[in-house]
Structures are given as C-alpha cells and as structure tokens.
C-alpha cells in the first residue's frame, strides 16, 4: 500500500518546476531568431581573439540551445562589431543596486559578448568567468543583452579546454535569453561547475520551453479529440489507482474485523 501511495504522490509532483528567471518580468526575446555578436576589440589580457569567441558562441548555440524542439528560439552566429571602449572597462550594473543595468552599456539589439576588466564586475577576479544581463528590456521583451567575459589575467577562462569554454559561453547565453540559475545540479544553468556540462539538462529544457514555447500548428478537430483522449486516459489511470487504493484499505479493514 505504501508503494502505491508513493507512486500516486509522484504522479502529481512530477510537474514541479525548478528553473529560475533572471528578471522579474519573465522577459524573453520577441523575435524567434537572435544573433550573437562579439566586440571586435577582443580581450586585452586573455589570449582569446574576437573570432575565436564568435566560434565558441556558434558552437554553444548549436550544441546546447538550438537543439530543443519545444523551443521557438533559434540563436545564430552574428558578426564582429566595434563596441565603444566602455564595454571593456565599465560596470555592468549601477553601483549599490541589485543590478539595475548601466544604461551606458545598453545593447541596442540581439546579444553582444565583450571582454571586460572592471574589478567590481568580477568581485572574485580569479573564479568568476563572466557576467550577463539582459540590459535592454521593453515590457516583457528582451531587446538586447550583454555578456561580459572576465578579462582579468588571473582568471581561468583562458586555460580551459575548448569544450569547457563553449559550455561557459553557453551558460552565459542562457542568462542572456532570460534564464536564472537552476538548483538542479545536472543543468547547464546550475550555478557551479558549468564547464563540465556537455548537454542541456531537463531543467534547462523546461526553462527554455517556458520562455520560448513553440506554437502548435492548427490541425483541425483531430488535435482536439487527441487532447481529450489524453485527458480521459489520465483520469482513467488516476481512477484506477484510486480504486486499487480503496481495495487495499478495504482488505485491511476486513482483515482487522476478522481478527476480532
Ligand atoms: Zn550563472
């Protein structure tokens, strides 16, 4: 009986969500296609060229974010753009705020990756590899987002393997499209050890699908009948479990009566 009870509870708990969002508005890009551009000035301290960074971004979207059939979002390799020098030196958030974006670094559209050496952005200059904020939001739409890679020479981005760099950039892209950290430790959006992730976890997929759901094509009455059938099957299955539970209790009750 205990197993049956546990199974019934699990049936209802299995829809719980764990992913978080990185803004209060549940904002997401309105366009289905979003480009990832890179500051052509590259990194001053890290031995990573702008062209290489563009390559990491391209690999990141192909390997991770573009592989989810339930998401409408298609990220694509953008171009090298000559960003203002403030992108390489300035704060990403205004001082003393819980990240109110610095308007001087607002990204006009799409996603921009730049290398930045501001020590306040990277409070731990060795271990924080990047910071990201959708810093141009209109209502519930992300218009532009900024990814800053830690360009302080002491951090470990440079010494990571190719796959690890791709995973790190991919985690930052997750923030740029509106996702926060996940408490589920096999997710790319888990706050630690992102470099060891080589595919999305179910929680990343849930978060992406929540923000960027694909629209179901209308296929006439057939699809409505199929949905009802699914619901009916679910009700039948739950009813069956309930009957088993009642049967089990009745047996127990009768069993007890007999013993008197
Ligand atoms: Zn993060």
| Confidence band of 23 (pLDDT split at 50, 70, 90) | confident
Tell me the torsion sign for CA atoms 133, 171, 144, 154.
Answer: positive
Distance CA 193, CA 228 (A): 43
What is the Cα–Cα distance from 112 to 102, expressed in whole angstroms? 15
- Tell how far the Cα of 181 is from the centroid of ligand 1, in angstroms: 6
Widest CA span in the chain: 88
Cα(234) to ligand 1 centroid in Å equals 38
| CA pair distance 78, 54, nearest whole angstrom | 8
Return d(Cα 120, Cα 87) in angstroms, integer: 14
Rounded distance between C-alpha atoms, residue 60 and residue 194, angstroms: 13
List pLDDT tens digits, range 179-218: 999 999 899 999 887 778 889 999 999 999 999 999 876 6
How far does residue 138's CA lie from ligand 1's centre (Å)? 23
Indicate the pLDDT class of residue 50, thresholds 50, 70 and 90.
Answer: very high
Q: What angle do CA 193, 38, 207 make, to 5 degrees?
A: 45
The whole-angstrom separation of Cα 114 and Cα 194 is 19
Cα of 30 vs centre of ligand 1, distance in Å, is 22
99 alpha carbon to ligand 1 midpoint, in Å?
Answer: 14
Q: In the chain, which ranges are continuous DSSP H helix?
A: 2-13, 50-63, 86-89, 162-176, 202-211, 221-259
Cβ-in-10-Å burial (0-12, 13-18, 19+) of 7 comes to exposed
Residue in this structure with the two tokens 């301290």, named with its chain if needed: 45
Q: How many angstroms separate the alpha carbon of residue 55 from the centre of ligand 1? A: 20
- Give the architecture (CATH level 2) of 18-211: 3-Layer(aba) Sandwich (3.40)
pLDDT digits (tens, 9 = 90+) for 140-149: 999 999 999 9
Going from the Cα of 195 to the center of ligand 1, the distance in angstroms, rounded, reads 11
CA of 247 to the centre of ligand 1 (A): 50
Closest by CA position to 34, among listed 186, 143, 130, 149: 143
Gap from CA of 86 to ligand 1 centroid (Å): 22
Please name every residue paired with 115 in a beta bridge, in sequence order, or none if there are none: 149
User: CA 166, CA 195: separation in Å to the nearest integer?
Assistant: 8
Q: What is the pLDDT of residue 153?
A: 76
Say if residue 94's pLDDT is above 70.
Answer: yes
The tokens describing 55, both together, are: 């390559």
Choose the weakest-confidence range: 33-42, 46-55, 86-95, 223-232. 223-232
Q: How far is the CA of 15 from the centre of ligand 1 (A)?
A: 24
| 236 or 18, higher pLDDT | 18
Q: How far is the CA of 32 from the centre of ligand 1 (A)?
A: 23
Report whether 172 contacts 188 (CB < 8 A): no
Alpha-carbon 127 to chain mean position: 21
């Amino acid at each position: 009986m205990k197993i049956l009870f546990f199974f019934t509870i699990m049936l209802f708990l299995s829809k719980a969500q764990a992913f978080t969002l990185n803004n209060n508005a549940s904002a997401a890009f309105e366009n289905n296609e979003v480009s990832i551009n890179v500051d052509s000035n590259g990194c001053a301290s890290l031995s990573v060229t702008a062209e290489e960074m563009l390559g990491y971004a391209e690999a990141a979207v192909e390997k991770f974010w573009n592989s989810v059939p339930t998401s409408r979002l298609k990220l694509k390799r953008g171009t090298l753009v000559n960003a203002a020098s403030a992108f390489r030196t300035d704060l990403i958030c205004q001082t003393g705020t819980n990240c109110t974006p610095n308007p001087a670094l607002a990204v006009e559209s799409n996603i921009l990756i730049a290398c930045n050496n501001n020590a306040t952005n990277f409070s731990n200059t060795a271990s924080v590899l990047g910071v990201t904020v959708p810093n141009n939001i209109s209502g519930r739409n992300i218009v532009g987002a900024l990814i800053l890679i830690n360009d302080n020479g002491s951090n470990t981005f440079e010494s990571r393997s190719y796959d690890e760099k791709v995973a790190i950039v991919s985690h930052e892209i997750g923030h740029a499209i509106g996702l926060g950290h996940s408490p589920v430790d096999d997710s790319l959006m888990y706050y630690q050890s992102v470099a060891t992730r080589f595919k999305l976890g179910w929680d990343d997929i849930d978060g992406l699908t929540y923000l960027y759901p694909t629209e179901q094509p209308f296929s006439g009455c057939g699809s409505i009948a199929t949905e009802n059938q699914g619901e009916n099957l679910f009700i039948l299955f739950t009813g069956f479990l309930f009957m088993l539970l009642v049967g089990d209790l009745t047996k127990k009750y009768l069993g007890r009566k007999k013993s008197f």
